[in-house]
Structure formats: C-alpha cells, structure tokens
Amino acid sequence: MFFATALPSILLFSTRPWLAAANGRDQQPPAPSPENTIYNDQNIRYVATVVVGGQSINVTLDTGSTDMWLNPRGGVGTFEDTRVPHKIAYADGNSYINGTIGLMQVSLAGHVVPKQAFVNVTENVNEDQCGHGVCGLIGLGFDNPDGGIEKALSDAGQDGPKIGKSLLSNIFDMNPDKGRFFALSLSRLDDSQDSAPATLHIADYDPRYASVQYEPMRPVFPSNKTTWDILSNGFTVNGYHLPLTANPENGAPPGQIIVGLDSGSPGVHTRPEIRDAIYSQIPGAVLAKNSSIPVRTWRKDEDVWVVPCNASVELTLDFGSNSYPVHPLDLTTMYTVTKDGVERTICTNTITNGGSIGGNPKGKDLLFGDPFLRNVYTVYSFGNSTTPPFAQFLPLTNASEAAKDFTSIRNKLLADGPPRA
C-alpha cells in the first residue's frame, strides 16, 4: 500500500447525471447487492464496511498486504488480546501502525468469522485514523507463515498459521465447497459512469462482470509468491511499445516484467524513465524537477509532471496478447492548490517514480495500483491443488469512448473550477 502522506485540497464534484452510461458497460446492470458494494473515497481508497463486535468500521481494501488492523475512534471494545505486539510499515516505512494482535468476531460481505486476528492499533503514524471515516485496513493478500501477523504469533510461541490467518482465508475455510478467490471492481469518480458501484465479491462474481471467468488466467509469478505479482509486457503509449527491462534478479522471462496488483495504491509506480516516456508524450506537459507541488500519489522523488488538464495520451497496459486501455482520467489527477491566497486548478501525473519498489529483493519491477485497476474487473484466485494462483482481467475501458468522456468531462470541470495554474 502506498498512500501519499500529505493530501492537498481536492476538488470534489458530485455525481454527473448529464452523461448517461456512455460505453455500454453497465446498461441496465443487474444491481450488485448492498453487502458487496464498496465505497470509493476520492479515487484514493476503496473502502468496505466490516462489523466488529457490533460496530461498523470502514476499512481500506488492500490487495498489496495481508494483515488486518483496526483503529476506530472509540476502540473496538472487548476482544481476546494475545498481547503479541505487531508493527506494520507501509510505503517506504514512513507510515506505520503498531499495537497488539487481538482475536475477535469480524463480518465482511455477509461472512461472519468468529475469531479473526487483527492488530488493535495503539500507535498510528500517517495511516487512516478515521480521516474520511476510514479507520482501518484489511489485506487481501496471501497467508504467509514467514511474515505478518502469522509470523509474529509464531515467534511469540503461539500457533500463527492457525490463529493468525487472514480474513479471506478464514472465510474460504468456512466455505470449503466454494472457490478460493475474490473479485474487485473499482469505480472511477467523475467519469461518465460515476455512479457505477465498486464491488467486492468473495468466491463469487459481480453479476455485471461474470464473464471474467472466461478471460485468460494470468499466473502469479513465480508460482510460490505470496503477493499478487504477475507477468506483464509493459506499456504502449500512442501505439509505441515502451521497451522495458526487468530486474534480472527477479527472473522474468525475456520481454516481460513482474508487476504487483495493489488496490491499496492510488498510483502506478514505475521507474522515472518510464514515467517520463509516458508523460512527455502529452502536449504541453512539463516536468517540474524537485518541486514543492503537493501531489496525491506516493512517489520516491519530488519530480512532478504538470499536465494541461484537457490533454492526455493513449496508454495501454499489456499482458500476453491482450492490451488493456487506461482511461485518460486515470493518468492525471485534477485538484486545487492554493498559493498566495489564490486557488488554482492543477493536473499532475498518477504514474510516479516507485523508487525501490522495482529493486531487489522486492521481486517485482512495477506496481499497478488503482489507475490501472479501475480499468479492469479483476479476479484474484488463490489457486487449489491443481491450479496455481492467478489473476483474470475483464477490460472495462473502451479507448475511443474514454477519450471522448475525458474531453467532455475535463472541459466541464475546467469551466466550473478555479482558473488553471
């Protein structure tokens, strides 16, 4: 998970009814049930509600980690305290939570787990402490006896693999007749389908996108990985395929790179030269080196691409023989900055320098967060005795429709908002 620590003021616009579902993806959709519906918090966090000891708590859904932690204002109430301390650091370690591991009844999407391990947070540095009403996080990653809550419990002499399992894992174990997979759709605020709900289905599919099960399986690479990392062929920008080199230590086959799928990351994180190759194609875009401009997405450096809000590129992310178009709205973030008392509208890059994300021993080359994941309906399958873990994507963005959406939406927002920077 890679959140920016300092969020600038953000332009908030309400649902836009004047643009009806334009590209047909959700014409007369069978409505997803409320228990599968998740919330989009400003395109930064995708949030589910868990019920813990009778209390509803909003938590970020993070495919980039496994542990669960809770930090509601009034505490979670009475729980079984293992007294085992556990600290979880995110991004480059500048944000973290710490507390002790507790066991408590937790419900998610209608599934009730009697004794779920979580961290009862007593120390919180730059993580969600009920800002925006989000007071915790659940990891949708793999159980790992060598990491996280499981390991902390084992190190303290307790049965980590048994009592420290992830929430998903406990739900799967309670439903042995169902598949060990979940599926996520992430909505996009301010596109023409603004109102399309984001959903989480466990061992099931969103009825709108059930055909995802016939899409190619993209195996976790290597297959013994305990993170949602798969092989990608990289980026195509305005029809030109960007040459990418993988970290040799990571062992990807020639021409491919290892990418992590991270719903907890509001950005896409790559190397600076890839970022620059993409944004330099946008007419009028300027790279501000070592800039003090605040941005919403995490980055390793202070370099910011300042992009005309109505300009973009055609970008696809490529997997095998499939190319998935990325909506231009996902490539830049529009917000207001106030300087010398004057509010101005600015658009900056969502694909940023990921620093050491791509370095050994992380085992991946890039991180594909929400700006990619909004464009696909994704199945995350933990696999079984015959099939290793894999992901599947159903494309949701039609490039030509998205380009039209982008122009009309940004022009409207620009007309309504403060002047451009």
Residues that bind ligand NAG (CB under 6 A): 39, 49, 56, 58, 71, 75, 81, 85, 87, 98-100, 120-123, 133, 179, 222, 224, 290, 308, 310-311, 381, 384-387, 398, 400-401
Cβ at position 390, least distance to ligand NAG in Å:
8
Rounded to an integer, what distance in angstroms lies between the CA atom of residue 29 and that of residue 292? 44
Rounded to an integer, what distance in angstroms lies between the CA atom of residue 320 and that of residue 234? 10
- In this complex, which beta carbon is closest to ligand NAG, that of residue 53 or of residue 308? 308
- In this complex, which beta carbon is closest to ligand NAG, that of residue 173 or of residue 243? 173
- In this complex, which beta carbon is closest to ligand NAG, that of residue 178 or of residue 243? 178
- CA 333, distance to chain mean position in Å, is 15
Cβ at position 383, least distance to ligand NAG in Å:
7
- In this complex, which beta carbon is closest to ligand NAG, that of residue 71 or of residue 375? 71
Rounded to an integer, what distance in angstroms lies between the CA atom of residue 44 and that of residue 2? 10
Cβ at position 384, least distance to ligand NAG in Å:
4
Rounded to an integer, what distance in angstroms lies between the CA atom of residue 302 and that of residue 228? 28
- In this complex, which beta carbon is closest to ligand NAG, that of residue 28 or of residue 290? 290
- Amino acid code (one letter) for 165: K
Report CA-CA distances (Å) from 56 to 135, 172, 200, 408. 10, 22, 17, 38
Cβ at position 232, least distance to ligand NAG in Å:
20
- CA 329, distance to chain mean position in Å, is 16
- In this complex, which beta carbon is closest to ligand NAG, that of residue 219 or of residue 222? 222
- In this complex, which beta carbon is closest to ligand NAG, that of residue 64 or of residue 99? 99
Q: Kindly state the DSSP code that residue 302 receives in the 8-state scheme.
A: S
Residue 333: how many other CB atoms lie within 10 Å:
25
Phi first, then psi: give them for residue 153, nearest 5 degrees: -65, -45
Cβ at position 268, least distance to ligand NAG in Å:
22
Sign of the torsion formed by the C-alpha atoms of 100, 41, 171 and 64: negative
Are 91 and 298 in contact by the 8 Å Cβ rule? The answer is: yes
Residues 373, 35, 210, 204, Cα dihedral to 10°? 100
Cβ at position 277, least distance to ligand NAG in Å:
20
The tokens describing 392, both together, are 């599947």
- In this complex, which beta carbon is closest to ligand NAG, that of residue 56 or of residue 245? 56
Cβ at position 182, least distance to ligand NAG in Å:
12
Cβ at position 88, least distance to ligand NAG in Å:
10
Residue 410's H or E segment, with its range, is helix 399-416
Which residues, 6 or more positions from 313, have their beta carbon under 8 angstroms from its beta carbon? 237, 238, 278, 279, 281, 282, 328, 331
Cβ at position 49, least distance to ligand NAG in Å:
6
- In this complex, which beta carbon is closest to ligand NAG, that of residue 256 or of residue 381? 381
